[in-house]
Chain A
Amino acid sequence: ETGVTQTPRHLVMGMTNKKSLKCEQHLGHNAMYWYKQSAKKPLELMFVYNFKEQTENNSVPSRFSPECPNSSHLFLHLHTLQPEDSALYLCASSQDRGQGADTQYFGPGTRLTVL
């Protein structure tokens, strides 16, 4: 248990569906992240929020829409996804973005399958 929870753990959706992934951290951190993890590939950073403000969007398609209502909660809204979006989506949090030893703590991920 890392102090970061994600729901759902597994999600199967069609290309026309709309769904949301939820992440919650209980560590009192100020930064939260969404990553995509595909088999045998490096983690891909998608979005970064620092003190609820989005600071990075790494050229992510608009069919992925993040939301950060407060420093403890992070959502990823999904719509009109493609089969190649099937992957493990990981949420992470850290104390302060911009510090060298700022360790990221990960949730267990949502395994997403797009049919």
Chain B
Amino acid sequence: GQNIDQPTEMTATEGAIVQINCTYQTSGFNGLFWYQQHAGEAPTFLSYNVLDGLEEKGRFSSFLSRSKGYSYLLLKELQMKDSASYLCAVMDSNYQLIWGAGTKLIIKP
């Protein structure tokens, strides 16, 4: 079966750095997405990785290792507004997104 694993919840301090991991086992691979979802709101697109390596976008970076079935989302200089759920999703060989259950990130002052 297809599976995406990510931690259920993480806590970090304002101004710090946090890394959210995602491991996957899917039928084929056509890229990995990260989304942010604030409570009661729409998931919003953060990043897309299809090749190995690190993609940096301001305070957020996303890393992919296809051979290890592994990705992480790195958030720097954490702000209170970064408190949200972070969803990892992999596009399989049928171009269907397979979703993780999300990681709830709690930022403390």
The yes or no verdict on A and B being binding partners is yes
- A4: which B residues are within 8 A, CB to CB? 42
Binding site for B on A (CB under 8 A): 2, 4, 40-43, 45, 56, 90, 97-109, 111
Binding site for A on B (CB under 8 A): 4, 8, 30-31, 33, 35, 40-45, 48, 50, 87, 89, 91, 95-102
- B98: which A residues are within 8 A, CB to CB? 42
Q: Which single residue of chain A is at the shortest CB-CB distance from B98?
A: A42
Q: Main secondary structure on chain A at its contact with chain B?
A: loop
Pairwise interchain contact B42-A106, C-beta atoms closer than 8 A? yes
Q: Which of B44, B50, B95 is the most central at the interface, judged by chain A CB atoms within 10 Å of its CB?
A: B95
- A97: which B residues are within 8 A, CB to CB? 95
Q: Known: A43-B99, A107-B42, A108-B42. Contact between A101 and B4, CB under 8 A?
A: no
